[in-house]
């Protein structure tokens, strides 16, 4: 090979060969690749790895991006295929490039140009390597960013907040605005195509006429600066036309503020009238627009809040009729009933819901039959009050069986408030007079669905109406309503950018999910579940308001004496469950028994005994309470003065605190002690805990005791089918021996022998065990119940409730004053709400019995005059 000189080879032969190899490499790596076939422009410049220049690239001036050369800082959006193609060969010599040799980066929105010098020391050409595709000077990533921001309902500030949170360089406002305008034109074209296609489908289905749905305003306020309307066909459920009204322009507003003439710009302001008149104007425009296409509109479905139909008949066609919206009619009825509720307390929420259901049933059954609807609505004034002369057999069961009960009215009985009946009659008479309209109602649910899409892409809290952004976003909503989420693929095609594998995949998935949800939502099971969930939410809310009292009321802070009703009724208290312990080989088994002054759980201990592998202890305790005759007879222990006797023999006795300290010393050398006893869960443990609390040494015991084992539960699992599980009977049955029972030391020794003889498995021991902490929580809960139970004596003495019900009420954490407070806040409904409130496990707090609710309510009602 010829000698290499500075600037090239010395021999022309080798120099020519070098040039041929370099040219071949360039041709091989520079083959253009397209992932879609609808490009309108040549993309040779986009796919080449050799950009001809960067002087006119669209950039973002953030952190002085032209001079910001720290390419390793932050994160970047990179198309790996484009970057790989760019790194294949140097533009001058054809040798591969290395990403690590990058010297600087020029940020262009989401994309960038990397400056990478060739590693060939002779060449040293600085290559401009793009990180993504582009069309002339427009980068595809920036176009898709603008499309995605509109589709997701984001503005430039939200997009940059997201990017900066990912440590990606933010994009400039100018670039974002320019790309959104480009995308907006494509969105409007796609929306127009879908609208025209939907109109053809609607014509094909209806053949002769089109039924126009409700015209919806984007906001219920009348001082708005923008609004939109949609025309939706009843057959296809798609948007046939739409209109947007905008009352402001940012450029014009700035010029007016500076008292100068606005510069030349595309002004999107197209309305100067009041907000209330926007709806009628847009409807008129849309009807005229479809009329120019040879389509006539016979009727519209809308609410009762505007004069749109009158303006249509005056300006377009006098034969156009108005069809009322069923949902709006039902909502108006609900508002009227809640207004009556303010003056008539017997009209509860439950009664209102019952009347609304009856009204809805009448409308559904009487569709197309005005006479039936009129008769049924007038009968609805009397039916809840037990008067069925005007009722119909198709819906009133009392005509066939007068003894039926109202399942949805209080106590299952008819209402009896004459004043309430007159108030209801005045409301229902008005509706009966419009039976003709009520017999042919339409629905605007499709419009509400479209408004939800608009709310997601053009949120009310964001002001998009001062520019063309609002029109672009409404167009996107129209396209999505008509075509689904795949509309974004049409927009990409219109913009000559690739559809995107993941974009297409998610769009198809979202459309499938939407169709599935829609199909499920139309099933009876789903609707019933939705009603039940709504009822449950209302019930929980009502119960919480009764428990919490007055927490919020308009202007209450301005009163001289704000509400004193701030006491909160406690939430349902659950009885703590016993938890098993983990039985290991390190467990020290202590067999334990006590004798006490009686059977009460607050009795005083008279004898405490324990035994283990390391020894035993037996201590007599001088009680401060007298020993009951029955306990004295069974145990043989009695006290005379300051002396204690056991079976007429004097024994040495100590105070309870000293006895417990001796017991603690007995097992304190081992930290994993388990106390084993017979029937200790229900008797011995509560008595022991009572003594530990009185002596204030509960913490010392908790440090040394892991838990307990009740042999009564254990022996029942080991020896099923016995007639008696008393310790003496078990000892006799298993060992065929007897012993002197009701002496705690004898009981402990006998239990130890019985336990070791049966030798229960580790699993059986664990199943019959319970931890110290769970036993203490159960004890604390029972103590609180005992404190609350005496407060319910007024109810049990007068036999309003049984002692068992009183115990359930106290165990749930409620006292007499809490019940009285519930009645004072919401009468009988308040009592019912707190008694049937569900706990975290879904169980009723006390009872659902209407009999008990009525009894308690009547009791407090009798106390009310005295208060």
* Whole-number Å distance between alpha carbons of 500 and 66: 30
Considering only 45-54, 589-598, 849-858, which range has the smallest mean pLDDT? 45-54
Task: Say if residue 210's pLDDT is above 60.
Answer: no
Question: Backbone dihedral region of 386: left (phi > 0), alpha (psi from -120 to 50 degrees) or beta?
Answer: left
pLDDT at 57 over 50: no
Q: In this predicted structure, which of 267-281, 543-557, 698-712, 837-851 has the lowest mean pLDDT? A: 543-557
With CA atoms as reference, report the closest residue to 762 among 581, 610, 590: 581
Query: Which residues, other chains included, contact 526 with Cβ-Cβ below 8 Å and sequence gap of 6+?
Result: 520
Question: What CA–CA distance (Å, rounded) separates 685 from 689?
Answer: 6
Task: Note the pLDDT tens digit of each residue in 713-765.
Answer: 999 999 999 999 999 999 999 998 888 777 889 999 999 999 999 999 999 99
Contact predicate 708/769, CB 8 Å: yes
Q: Is the pLDDT of residue 694 over 60?
A: yes
- Rounded to whole angstroms, the Cα distance separating 758 from 762 reads 12
pLDDT in tens, 396-440: 888 888 888 887 787 778 888 888 889 988 888 888 888 888 888
Tokens of 187: 């969105």
Q: What are phi and psi of 17, to 5 degrees?
A: -60, -40
In the predicted model, is pLDDT for residue 53 greater than 50? no
Q: Report the alpha-carbon distance of residue 545 to residue 833 in Å, rounded.
A: 10
Report whether pLDDT(217) > 80.
no
Q: Helical H runs in 12-134?
A: 12-29, 44-47, 80-86
Q: Give pLDDT tens digits for 577-586.
A: 999 998 888 8
How deeply is 419 buried, as exposed, middle or buried, from its count of CB atoms within 10 A (0-12, 13-18, 19+)?
Answer: exposed
Reading the block at residue 698, the tokens are 């509960």
Helices 816-835 & 850-863 angle (0-180, nearest 10): 140
Mean pLDDT confidence for 148-161: 93
Confidence at residue 380, expressed as pLDDT on a 0 to 100 scale: 87
Rounded CA separation 505/485 (Å): 10
Question: Cα separation of 853 and 855, whole Å?
Answer: 5
In this structure, are residues 545 and 829 in contact, taking their beta carbons and an 8 Å threshold?
no
**Residue 471, SS3 per DSSP:** helix
Can you tell me the distance from the alpha carbon of 457 to that of 75, in angstroms, rounded to the nearest whole number?
Answer: 27
- Lowest average pLDDT, out of 55-69, 290-304, 451-465, 771-785, goes to 55-69
Task: Give yes or no for residue 60 having a pLDDT over 50.
Answer: no
191, pLDDT greater than 90: yes
Tell me the pairing of strands 705-710 and 605-612: unpaired
Average confidence (pLDDT) over 485-503? 91
**Buried b or exposed e, range 735-749, using 16+ CB within 10 angstroms:** eeeeeeebbbbebbb
Q: Which residue has 């009209």 as its token pair?
A: 347
Per-residue pLDDT band at 563 (split at 50, 70, 90): low
Mapped onto helix, strand or coil, the DSSP state of residue 802 is coil
Which alpha helices (DSSP H) does 607-743 contain, by range? 629-635, 656-667, 685-695, 698-704, 711-718, 727-735
Query: In whole numbers, what is the pLDDT of the chain averaged over residues?
Result: 84
Dump pLDDT digits (tens) for 672-689.
899 999 999 999 999 999
**How far is the C-alpha of 433 from the C-alpha of 261, rounded, in Å?**
58
Please state, as a whole number, how many other Cβ atoms lie within 10 Å of the Cβ of residue 273: 11
How far CA 748 is from CA of 261, 683, 687, 745, in Å, comes to: 104, 15, 17, 5
Whether 213 and 206 have beta carbons less than 8 Å apart is answered as no
Separation in Å, CA 84 to CA 96, 113, 297: 10, 13, 58
Return the percentage of the chain with pLDDT > 70, whole number.
88
Tokens of 511: 């459309």
**Strands 605-612 and 588-596, bridge-based pairing:** antiparallel
With H, G, I as helix, E, B as strand and everything else as coil, classify residue 377: helix
Please tell me the predicted confidence (pLDDT) of residue 799. 92
For residue 820, pLDDT over 80 is answered with: yes
Is residue 368's pLDDT more than 80?
Answer: yes
From 1-10, 310-319, 605-614, the region with the lowest mean pLDDT: 1-10
pLDDT in tens, 536-560: 888 888 888 888 877 766 666 656 5
Structural Rg of the chain based on CA atoms = 42
Measured on CA atoms in the order 354, 355, 361, 364, is the torsion positive or negative?
A: negative
Comparison of pLDDT for 802 and 440, the residue scoring more: 802
Sign of the torsion angle spanned by Cα atoms 534, 537, 543, 547: negative
HEC readout, 816-839? HHHHHHHHHHHHHHHHHHHHCCEC
For residue 292, is pLDDT > 80?
Answer: yes
Q: pTM score, two decimals?
A: 0.71
**Burial annotation 129-143 (CB, 10 A radius, 16+ → b, else e):** bbbbbbbeebbbbbb
287/284 Cα distance (integer angstroms): 5
Check pLDDT > 80 for residue 779. yes
Q: What's the rounded mean pLDDT across residues 633-661?
A: 90
pLDDT at 554: 63
Find tokens 């304190």 and name the residue: 668
Distance CA 128, CA 103 (A): 11
Contact 820, 829 (CB under 8 A): no
For 95-105, what is each residue's pLDDT tens digit?
999 999 999 99
pLDDT more than 90, % of the chain: 38
Rounded distance between C-alpha atoms, residue 688 and residue 705, angstroms:
13
The pLDDT, as a whole number, for residue 158 is 93
The mean per-residue pLDDT over the stretch 367-378 comes to: 87
Write out pLDDT tens, residues 13-44.
777 777 776 676 666 555 555 556 665 544 33
- Cα separation, 244 vs 184, in Å, equals 14
């Amino acid at each position: 090979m010829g000698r290499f000189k500075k600037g090239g080879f010395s021999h022309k032969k080798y120099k020519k060969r070098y040039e041929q190899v370099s040219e071949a490499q360039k041709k091989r790596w520079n083959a253009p690749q397209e992932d879609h076939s609808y490009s309108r422009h040549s993309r040779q410049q986009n796919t080449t790895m050799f950009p001809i220049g960067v002087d006119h690239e669209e950039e973002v001036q953030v952190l002085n991006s032209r001079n910001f050369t720290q390419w390793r800082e932050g994160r970047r959006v990179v198309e790996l295929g484009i970057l790989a193609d760019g790194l294949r060969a140097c533009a001058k010599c054809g040798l591969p490039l290395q990403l690590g040799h990058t010297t600087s980066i020029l940020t262009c929105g989401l994309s960038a140009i990397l400056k990478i010098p060739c590693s060939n020391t002779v060449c040293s050409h600085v290559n401009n390597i793009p990180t993504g595709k582009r069309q002339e000077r427009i980068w595809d990533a920036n176009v898709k960013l603008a499309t995605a921001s509109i589709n997701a309902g984001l503005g430039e500030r939200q997009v940059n907040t997201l990017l900066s949170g990912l440590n990606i360089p933010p994009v400039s406002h100018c670039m974002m605005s320019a790309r959104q305008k480009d995308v907006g034109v494509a969105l409007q074209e796609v929306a127009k195509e879908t609208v025209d296609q939907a109109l053809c489908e609607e014509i094909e289905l209806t053949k002769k006429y089109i039924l126009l749905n409700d015209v919806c305003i984007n906001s219920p306020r009348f001082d708005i600066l923008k609004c939109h309307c949609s025309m939706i066909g009843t057959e296809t459920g798609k948007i046939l036309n739409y209109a947007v009204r905008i009352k402001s322009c940012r450029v014009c507003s700035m010029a007016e503020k500076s008292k100068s003439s606005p510069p030349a710009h595309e002004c999107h302001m197209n309305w100067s009238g009041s907000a209330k008149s926007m709806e009628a104007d847009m409807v008129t425009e849309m009807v005229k627009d479809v009329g120019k296409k040879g389509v006539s509109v016979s009727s519209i479905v809308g609410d009762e809040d505007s004069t749109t139909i009158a303006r249509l008949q005056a300006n377009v066609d006098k034969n156009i009729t108005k069809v009322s919206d069923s949902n709006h009619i039902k909502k108006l009825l609900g508002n009227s009933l809640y207004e009556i509720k303010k003056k008539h307390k017997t009209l509860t929420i439950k009664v209102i819901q019952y009347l609304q259901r009856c009204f809805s049933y009448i409308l559904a059954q009487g569709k197309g039959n005005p006479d039936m609807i009129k008769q049924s609505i007038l009968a609805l004034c009397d039916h809840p009050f037990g008067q069925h002369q005007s009722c119909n057999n198709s819906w009133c069961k009392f005509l066939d069986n007068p003894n039926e009960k109202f399942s949805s009215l209080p106590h299952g009985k008819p209402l009896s408030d004459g004043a309430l009946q007159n108030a209801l009659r005045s409301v229902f008479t008005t509706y009966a007079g419009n039976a003709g309209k009520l017999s042919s109602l339409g629905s605007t649910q499709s419009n509400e669905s479209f408004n939800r899409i608009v709310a997601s892409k053009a949120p009310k809290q964001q002001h998009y109406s001062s520019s063309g952004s609002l029109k672009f976003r409404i167009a996107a909503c129209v396209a999505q309503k008509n075509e689904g989420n795949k509309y974004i693929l049409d927009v990409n095609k219109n913009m000559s950018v690739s559809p995107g594998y993941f974009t297409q995949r998610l769009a198809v998935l979202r459309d499938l999910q939407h169709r599935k949800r829609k199909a499920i939502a139309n099933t009876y099971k789903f609707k019933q579940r939705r009603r039940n969930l709504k009822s449950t939410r209302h019930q929980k809310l009502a119960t919480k308001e009764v428990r919490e009292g007055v927490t919020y009321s308009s202007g209450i802070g301005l009163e001289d004496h704000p509400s004193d009703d701030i006491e909160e009724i406690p939430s349902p208290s659950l009885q703590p469950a016993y938890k098993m312990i983990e039985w290991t080989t390190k467990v020290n088994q202590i067999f334990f028994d006590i004798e006490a002054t009686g059977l009460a759980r607050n009795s005083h201990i008279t004898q405490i005994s324990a035994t283990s592998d390391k020894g035993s202890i037996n201590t007599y305790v001088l009680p401060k309470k007298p020993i009951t005759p029955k306990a004295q007879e069974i145990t043989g222990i009695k006290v005379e003065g300051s002396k204690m006797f056991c079976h007429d023999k004097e024994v040495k006795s100590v105070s309870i605190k000293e006895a417990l300290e001796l017991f603690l010393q007995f097992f304190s050398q081992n930290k994993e002690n388990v106390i084993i006893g017979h029937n200790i869960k229900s008797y011995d443990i509560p008595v022991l805990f009572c003594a530990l609390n009185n002596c204030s040494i509960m913490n010392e015991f908790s440090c040394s005791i892991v838990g307990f084992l009740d042999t009564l539960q254990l022996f029942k699992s080991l020896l099923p089918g016995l007639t008696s599980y008393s310790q003496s009977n078990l000892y006799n049955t298993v060992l065929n021996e007897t012993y002197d029972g009701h002496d705690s030391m004898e009981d402990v020794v006998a239990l130890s022998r019985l336990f070791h003889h049966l030798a229960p498995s580790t699993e059986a021991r664990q199943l019959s065990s319970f931890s110290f902490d769970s036993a203490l929580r159960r004890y604390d809960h029972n103590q609180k119940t005992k404190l609350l139970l005496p407060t319910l004596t007024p109810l049990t003495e007068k036999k309003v409730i049984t002692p068992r019900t009183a115990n359930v009420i106290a165990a749930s954490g409620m006292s007499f004053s809490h019940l009285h407070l519930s009645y004072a806040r919401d009468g009988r409904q308040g009592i019912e709400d707190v008694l049937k409130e569900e706990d975290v496990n879904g169980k009723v707090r006390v009872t659902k019995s209407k009999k008990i609710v009525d009894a308690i309510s009547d009791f407090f009602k009798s106390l009310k005059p005295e208060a």
